[in-house]
Amino acid sequence: MGLYLLTCGTLCAAEEFLFTQEQSDTACATLLEALDGYRQTHYSPETHLLYSTPLERLPSAEMVRDLDPNPVGYGTGMEDCTMYAGTLLVAWIELFDLTGEESLRARAYDTYLGLRAVGTAHGVRGFVSRGICPEDAASTYITSSRDQYTHYVEGLWRYCRSPLCDDVTRGEIRGLLCDLADTMEAQITPENDYGFLRADGSKDPRGLHKMWHVYAHEAARLPMIYAAAWDVSGSAKYRALYERIAAEAIDQSLTLNSRPRQEVNAWVPTYSFYQMQCSLDVMHRVENDTPLKTRMLRAMKATKDFASIRFPGLVKNQNLQQFADIHIAQLLSPALVLTGEQKTHLVNTLTHRNLRHASVSGTCHLLRAYAHACRNGYMPVPKVKIPEVAKIHPGALTPTSWKTLPPQPEVDENLVVFLGDAYLGAEAGNIEKFQNAARLILDLRPRPAMIVFTGNLAAHGTESEYELAKPVLRQFADAKIPVRFLLGDADRREVLFRVFPEYGPPGTLVPGRNVGVFEHPRADFLLLDTAAKEASEGALDDGQKKWLGDRLQECAAAEKPCFIVSHHPPQHLGVTELLVGNTGFLAWIHAHEHRWADRARDLPRTLGLQSVAYSADGEPHEGFCMLKLDKWEFVFRPVTYDQDDVWARRVAVFRLNSRPPEK
């Protein structure tokens, strides 16, 4: 059934409702039947969690501990259990408030136990995992996200306030939310890129952990955590943490509908409208300051209407979960009144012919959207009997012996930094930007294992220009961070290595050329010299091509991933035939174009570095790039001098079919 077949004029079977009682009962029964069907195959009584795939397809505990196939657990069926549980728990609470059905008490407690598990089973205080492996009810992937944290906090906080919750459980929730707030206070720091740590104490290279200096739709997530902890504990400490950032978070939230549509489409998934409203709603319910409370509601109303821009694009694929995400964003607060068009969308979704065939996540989200629709007076309260589930005898949370996370090491042996195009001497401000890049790198905790400078350190290759770099390079040396230099078209090799003999060509792999190999235990980096006075787009002579071909064959034989690094991009270098069919080659890293780019569909795949000193589009995107070599995946991301630069949140991820060899 097309989304626009129904019109507002044909919706109302009763003056006060958009649905008949029969339609409401049918929707409720259909969704409950679908959910209970999934409980037979996708639910674990050991973890009290729903999974997106049947239990027999989930990874083993050994695989999870080994972070196979990736540290996030993407594609495993365990990646979003916390989101399902948080969404479902609020649905049970809303339905109980409407119906008083006692059968919902066991359902809510069971769902709560799942949320409790993702916050405790792994033994890391203040860490919220994406899911728990049913095999041992303890193993989890180390990378979570602010999305999981959002649903965890909202679900626990709403349950704590509900008559479904007993005093013992309220005490548990108080401890869980305060543990989380304490962890946020300790970890959301500049040193951690304003993000929480992974379960092993390391930083997340993807940026999923980032809680401050974020997009408008994410700005309220951190104050939401402090607000919930303050509300359940009454602690002045959490109130102060909340009040310190609440107003700024609302200011940022209010900018969402003023952002360019292209930017919002690129950076705001449909479910983020729903999550944004969850965080704003918690703040709105806790806040006592009337002017700030009014601004919060204004942000929620703007988000409600802005979410509607997604509907036309969703009509084609008929994704019921995405429809539900928008409906929740529009129905979360009774003060958010639907427009006629929004009512039409709601009716079409909750009478959709495929309602019983949504995914696990889709069913959970649809059930919550249904509950909100009933509460807000758009549907009659259901009169169907809500089936019982096996009753679970309440059991107090066993005191947890929290793990002591290892301290951050001085050096991250799996972190490599790439810089390029400083053009010292071209403009007076370039040396300042180079120093700024150096400061950010030296401030990293832990520091990188290697810095690769990809050419054009100087604007004209003069000795005086290279001399400008000495104070910065001395800081790297003092910090014991090795530096490798490649050459760009503006560099002069004889001058560069006369000023810096310590960075001279490592041996004579190719006579007369600055060619080398950085052999990391998890990948090899083949460093090329593409500088040629007669070719501004770079060139490779036959000697380098032969050497490159031989090294690529060696990497392939050893089944070891490899990157090629040069100043110039490969388009004009005549190397495509060397890379065809080479399964170990991952990407060609280059400078020269002064902009970050991941050309994943090109042959070869290329990663372009932004300039240290120049922006290709006039925006403040100058900076450097970092490559994190995790066990099963590599993450490449840009870093800019401006913490609020959303462009810098882009990452390139390389998932490996097998773990790279360890040495």
3-class secondary structure per residue, 207-269: CCCECCCCCHHHCCHHHHHHHHHHHHHCCHHHHHHHHHHHHHHHHHHCCHHHCCHHHHHHHCC
pLDDT band at residue 617, thresholds of 50, 70 and 90? confident
pLDDT band at residue 259, thresholds of 50, 70 and 90? confident
Which residues face 653 on adjacent strands? Answer: 635
Give the H/E segment covering residue 562.
strand 562-566
* Selection from 62, 84, 78 nearest residue 143 by Cα: 78
Are 426 and 367 within one domain? Answer: no
Residue 392 lies in a domain: no
Are 84 and 206 within one domain? Answer: yes
Are 428 and 522 within one domain? Answer: yes
As a 3-state breakdown, the chain gives helix, strand, coil percent values, each rounded to 5, of 45, 10, 45
Are 366 and 436 within one domain? Answer: no
DSSP-based three-state secondary structure for 67: coil
Identify whether the C-beta of residue 265 lies closer than 8 Å to the C-beta of residue 300: no
CATH of the domain at 481: 3.60.21.10
Q: Could you please report the per-residue DSSP string of 113-130? A: HHHHHHHHTT--TT---S
Distance CA 364, CA 37 (A): 12
pLDDT at 8: 37
pLDDT band at residue 157, thresholds of 50, 70 and 90? very high
Residue 661 lies in a domain: no
Record the tokens describing residue 228, joined without a space: 């919930």
Domain membership of residue 325 as a residue range? 18-375
pLDDT at 538: 81
Question: How many Cβ atoms from other residues are within 10 Å of residue 447's Cβ?
Answer: 20
Cβ neighbours of residue 546 closer than 8 Å, sequence gap 6 or more? none
Distance CA 55, CA 6 (A): 39
pLDDT at 2: 35
Give the H/E segment covering residue 543.
helix 542-557
Instruction: Kindly report, residue by residue over 400-415, the tens digit of the pLDDT.
Output: 789 988 888 999 999 9
DSSP-based three-state secondary structure for 135: coil
Distance CA 176, CA 157 (A): 10
> Of all residues in the chain, what percent carry a pLDDT higher than 70?
95
Residue 394 lies in a domain: no
Instruction: Kindly report, residue by residue over 83-134, the tens digit of the pLDDT.
Output: 999 999 999 999 999 999 999 999 999 999 999 999 999 999 999 999 999 9
Average pLDDT for 509-527: 90
| CB-side neighbour CA atoms (13 Å) of 176 | 30
Q: Could you please report the per-residue DSSP string of 637-652? A: EEEES-TT-GGGG--E
Are 29 and 101 within one domain? Answer: yes
pLDDT band at residue 662, thresholds of 50, 70 and 90? low
pLDDT at 660: 62
The answer, yes or no, to whether residue 313 has pLDDT greater than 80, is no
Are 541 and 634 within one domain? Answer: yes
Encoded amino acid at 286, one letter: V
Encoded amino acid at 106, one letter: A
Mean pLDDT rounded to a whole number for the chain: 91
The answer, yes or no, to whether residue 532 has pLDDT greater than 80, is no
Distance CA 581, CA 569 (A): 20
* Selection from 413, 421, 414 nearest residue 623 by Cα: 421
Distance CA 394, CA 65 (A): 30
The answer, yes or no, to whether residue 296 has pLDDT greater than 80, is yes
Are 344 and 422 within one domain? Answer: no
The answer, yes or no, to whether residue 144 has pLDDT greater than 90, is yes
Residue 383 lies in a domain: no
Average pLDDT for 206-216: 93
pLDDT at 11: 39
Read off the DSSP letter of residue 646.
G
Average pLDDT for 459-485: 95
Strands 623-629 and 606-608: unpaired
Residue 391 lies in a domain: no
Average pLDDT for 483-502: 92
Distance CA 432, CA 622 (A): 12
Residue 403 lies in a domain: no
**Distance, CA of 358 to chain centre:** 25
Average pLDDT for 137-162: 98
Instruction: Kindly report, residue by residue over 561-602, the tens digit of the pLDDT.
Output: 999 999 999 988 888 888 887 888 999 999 999 999 999 988
Are 478 and 604 within one domain? Answer: yes
Instruction: Kindly report, residue by residue over 261-274, the tens digit of the pLDDT.
Output: 777 777 788 999 99
pLDDT at 602: 87
Average pLDDT for 510-538: 86
pLDDT at 357: 93
The answer, yes or no, to whether residue 215 has pLDDT greater than 70, is yes
Domain end position, chosen among 350, 375, 400: 375
Distance CA 332, CA 341 (A): 17
Identify whether the C-beta of residue 276 lies closer than 8 Å to the C-beta of residue 249: no
Identify whether the C-beta of residue 442 lies closer than 8 Å to the C-beta of residue 475: yes
Domain end position, chosen among 375, 403, 435: 375
Which has the higher per-residue pLDDT, 130 or 647? 130
Residue 22 lies in a domain: yes
Are 366 and 429 within one domain? Answer: no
Are 418 and 356 within one domain? Answer: no
The answer, yes or no, to whether residue 4 has pLDDT greater than 60, is no
Best mean pLDDT range from 280-294, 383-397, 593-607, 617-631? 280-294
Are 308 and 426 within one domain? Answer: no
Cβ neighbours of residue 541 closer than 8 Å, sequence gap 6 or more? 510, 513
Are 300 and 157 within one domain? Answer: yes
Give the H/E segment covering residue 285.
helix 270-286
pLDDT at 316: 64
Residue 9 lies in a domain: no
Distance CA 347, CA 3 (A): 9
pLDDT at 7: 34
What is the pTM (predicted TM-score) of this model?
Answer: 0.92
pLDDT at 266: 74
Record the tokens describing residue 340, joined without a space: 């006629």
Query: What is the count of structural domains for the chain?
Result: 2
pLDDT at 533: 64
Identify whether the C-beta of residue 403 lies closer than 8 Å to the C-beta of residue 52: no
CATH of the domain at 366: 1.50.10.10
Domain end position, chosen among 347, 375, 403: 375
Which residues face 391 on adjacent strands? Answer: none
Cβ neighbours of residue 284 closer than 8 Å, sequence gap 6 or more? 293, 296, 297, 300, 333
The answer, yes or no, to whether residue 14 has pLDDT greater than 50, is no
Distance CA 337, CA 335 (A): 6
Encoded amino acid at 417, one letter: V
